């Protein structure tokens, strides 16, 4: 009888000791008793010393006798170490569902290599050759509509022919449908989809197929990265700049960065793809960590859109009107040509703020430091942070005065109301992320847009990512400067990326498109860089400002959030936690109230730790947290490489 350590895929767990009479290898999937049930676990160590306490015994092997490769185990260890997460929490990402139950068939993809992909242009062929021959991650930077997808489709086909598996990662679930359709048309079989909408039973089938290698191609959200692929050949991270690749609960990983790590561990190719790569990725290409390849022309000589600035300081809008005269005329002209219009505003609901003009009351969430947003469609107020809802007051709750409440600013519902009044005979649809999460909703909308059944599409950021509509020629951005406010390090970068992404939807085929930006700060550097196609100048200026401030990519940062039920006690706990910080050369800012000070009824303080790139930040933070005394009534969360300081 020997003692082995097994890793149970449960958040917060560490390897546990069990006894067994069977010889196992590291990586074997075994069934063990855990608490009051039997669960699939990973053999982590063998021939361990026998402890003095009585141990439970391993029940046996997993029903399909699977073994995870060493590369997957290494990924668990490296991710756990980097993000200061328990091994069991990372293992839960690798085995998110129990694959042992019967009867579950193994998902199988049958494919034929008789399918021929569309020929690539000479420029695309050169990019493909570099992608397949590079020993480091490839960063493919191409203007919207330049054919980046077709390039990595060709690369995937070549990897499939050599018996390898392929993973295509997308930042949004709703992006999947168009690329699934294109993939199926090109390859002759359907890829496997992995995201939060896939049922548990289906995930069990898929997971078995990934482990055994019968699943060859996965298209998925960020969680697809950690799955235990048997023979991974290529990982494509599409829209690599997108902040949706960052996980904001549990293990706080960035799937793009972990894709690069996995590529190094697996020895597989990494393709980071974007029209507007992140500044960190562009910097990594400058220091030769990545190889940058640029596509500067649209596919089939499609023409880049014209860009017009509407200075809203010079516009005279009537009451409850948000669209300028020039925009309204452009919409009218586009509709007369039987072409489509996209109106972008990154605000859900009808109005983002309700104020009382008599006493200054603001409709705020009782549980968060946020305003309640009026949603006319559901006839209620909603908090977009904790999800709480309330009825719309008929009079001011503070001063009780009637007819004193005013709606400030527009959301997409309010823009849709104005558009419908202006163009009542046109088919107008408004969509946001929460609406698109309904099963089938986004698929129906995409098909309707592709078939020309929608004349005017109004939406939030969900409609900016990767979609291709042949009849869409006019894109309007309402409040183009909304992203400039706030203390986010990446605010300017994200706004620039967003403008490029939404503008890239216009005129992607033979008809030249038009992008119109409504802004109150037309002289802002982001607006200027976008309009004048000065992306490199913007990149250099942004990079220099971060170098001077010693911020990423010239430094590494971690955000520590201390959360508690009482405001004053949480503040004192944050100060006490700071006192345990080991002496070093790192810069520590805070503690200070988080930008979202109150969230879901709890109070939050932030500490920001800034270190040079060669400093062992994880070792420092682990020493700090291990030495601190943290009562169970408080939560301390450490976010390595935070994407938001909310």
Q: Is 67 helix (H, G, I), strand (E, B) or coil?
A: strand
Q: 437: pLDDT confidence band, cut at 50, 70 and 90? A: very low
- Contacts for 422 with CB less than 8 Å, ≥ 6 apart: 323, 328, 331
Q: How far apart are CA 289 and CA 138, in angstroms?
A: 9
Q: What is the pLDDT of residues 204-231, one digit of tens each?
A: 999 999 999 999 999 999 999 999 999 9
Is 383 known to sit in a ligand binding site? yes
Is 48 known to sit in a ligand binding site? no
Q: How far apart are CA 413 and CA 374, in angstroms?
A: 10
Q: What is the pTM of this model?
A: 0.91
Q: Which residues pair with 217 in a beta bridge?
A: 166
- Contacts for 631 with CB less than 8 Å, ≥ 6 apart: 573
Is 368 known to sit in a ligand binding site? yes
Q: How far is CA 79 from the centre of its chain?
A: 18
Q: Which of 155-159, 480-484, 493-497 reaches the highest mean pLDDT?
A: 155-159
- Contacts for 510 with CB less than 8 Å, ≥ 6 apart: 302
* Domain architecture of the chain: domains with CATH: 2-94 (3.40.1440.60), 122-300 (3.40.50.300), 302-348+411-543 (3.40.50.300), 351-409 (no CATH), 555-640 (3.30.70.600)
Is 359 known to sit in a ligand binding site? yes
Is 62 known to sit in a ligand binding site? no
Residue 438 has pLDDT above 50, yes or no: no
pLDDT value at residue 101: 76
> What would the mean pLDDT of 618-641 be, rounded to a whole number?
96
Q: Which residues pair with 193 in a beta bridge?
A: 219
Residue 31, both tokens = 């069934």
Is 399 known to sit in a ligand binding site? yes
Residue 24 has pLDDT above 50, yes or no: yes
DSSP per residue, 535-580: HHHHHHHHHHHHHHHT-TTSEEEEEEEEEESSHHHHHHHHHHHHHT
pLDDT value at residue 514: 92
Give the dihedral of Cα atoms 535, 537, 538, 540; nearest 10 deg. 120
> What would the mean pLDDT of 470-484 be, rounded to a whole number?
84
Lay out the sheet containing 380-382: strands in order across.
Answer: 373-375, 380-382, 389-390
Q: What is the pLDDT of residues 119-150, one digit of tens each?
A: 998 889 999 999 999 999 999 998 777 789 99
Residue 133, both tokens = 């021959």
């Amino acid at each position: 009888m020997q003692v082995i350590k097994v890793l149970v895929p449960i958040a917060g767990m560490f390897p546990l000791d069990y006894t067994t009479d069977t010889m196992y290898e590291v990586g074997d999937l075994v069934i063990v008793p855990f608490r009051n049930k039997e669960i699939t676990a990973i053999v982590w160590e063998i021939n361990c010393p026998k402890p003095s306490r009585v141990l439970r015994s391993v029940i046996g092997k997993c029903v399909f006798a699977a073994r995870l490769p060493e590369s997957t185990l290494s990924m668990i260890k490296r991710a756990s170490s980097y993000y200061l997460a328990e091994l069991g929490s990372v293992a839960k990402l690798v085995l998110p569902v129990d694959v042992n139950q019967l009867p579950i068939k193994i998902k199988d993809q049958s494919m034929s290599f008789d399918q021929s992909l569309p020929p690539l242009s000479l420029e695309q062929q050169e990019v493909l050759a570099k992608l397949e021959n590079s020993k480091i991650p490839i960063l493919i930077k191409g203007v919207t509509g330049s054919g980046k997808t077709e390039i990595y489709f060709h690369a995937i086909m070549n990897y499939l022919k050599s018996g390898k598996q392929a993973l295509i990662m997308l930042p949004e679930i709703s992006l999947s449908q168009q690329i699934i359709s294109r993939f199926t048309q090109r390859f002759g079989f359907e890829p496997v989809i992995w995201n939060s909408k896939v049922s548990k039973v289906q995930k069990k089938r898929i997971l078995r197929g990934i482990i055994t290698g019968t699943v060859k191609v996965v298209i998925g959200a960020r969680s697809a990265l950690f799955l235990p692929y048997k023979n991974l050949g290529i990982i494509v991270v599409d829209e690599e700049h997108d902040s949706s690749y960052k996980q904001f609960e549990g293990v706080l990983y960035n799937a793009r960065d972990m894709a690069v790590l996995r590529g190094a561990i697996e020895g597989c190719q990494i393709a980071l793809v974007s029209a507007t790569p992140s500044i960190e990725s562009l910097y990594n290409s400058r220091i030769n960590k990545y190889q940058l390849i640029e596509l500067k022309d649209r596919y089939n000589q499609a023409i880049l859109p014209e860009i017009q600035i509407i200075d809203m300081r010079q516009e005279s809008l009537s009451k409850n009107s948000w669209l300028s005269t020039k925009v309204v005329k452009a919409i009218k002209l586009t509709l007369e040509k039987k072409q489509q219009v996209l109106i972008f505003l990154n605000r859900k609901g009808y109005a983002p703020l309700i104020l009382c003009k008599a006493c200054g009351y603001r409709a705020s969430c009782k549980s968060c430091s946020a305003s309640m947003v009026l949603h006319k469609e559901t006839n209620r107020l909603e908090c977009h942070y904790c999800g709480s809802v309330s009825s719309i007051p008929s009079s001011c709750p503070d001063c009780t005065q009637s007819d004193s409440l005013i709606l400030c600013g527009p959301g997409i519902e309010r823009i849709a109301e104005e558009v419908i009044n202006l163009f009542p005979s046109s088919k107008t649809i408004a969509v946001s992320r929460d609406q698109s999460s309904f099963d089938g909703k986004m698929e129906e909308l995409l098909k309707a847009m592709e078939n020309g059944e929608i004349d005017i599409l109004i939406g939030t950021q969900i409609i900016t990512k990767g979609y291709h509509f042949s009849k869409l020629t006019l894109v309007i951005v309402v409040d183009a400067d909304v992203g400039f406010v706030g203390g986010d390090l990446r605010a300017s970068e994200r706004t620039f990326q967003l403008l490029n992404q939404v503008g890239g939807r216009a005129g992607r085929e033979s008809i030249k498109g038009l992008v119109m930006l409504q802004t109150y700060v037309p002289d802002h550097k982001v607006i200027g860089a976008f309009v004048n196609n000065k992306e490199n100048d913007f990149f250099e200026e942004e990079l220099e400002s971060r170098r001077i401030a010693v911020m990423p990519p010239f430094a590494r940062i971690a955000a520590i959030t201390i959360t508690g039920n009482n405001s004053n006690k949480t503040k004192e706990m944050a100060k006490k936690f700071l006192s345990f910080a080991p002496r070093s050369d790192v810069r520590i800012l805070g503690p200070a109230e988080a930008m979202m000070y109150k969230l879901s009824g709890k109070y939050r303080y932030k500490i920001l730790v800034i270190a040079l790139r060669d400093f062992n930040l994880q070792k420092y933070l682990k020493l700090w947290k291990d030495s601190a005394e943290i009562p169970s009534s408080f939560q301390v969360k450490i976010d390595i490489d935070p994407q938001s300081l909310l």
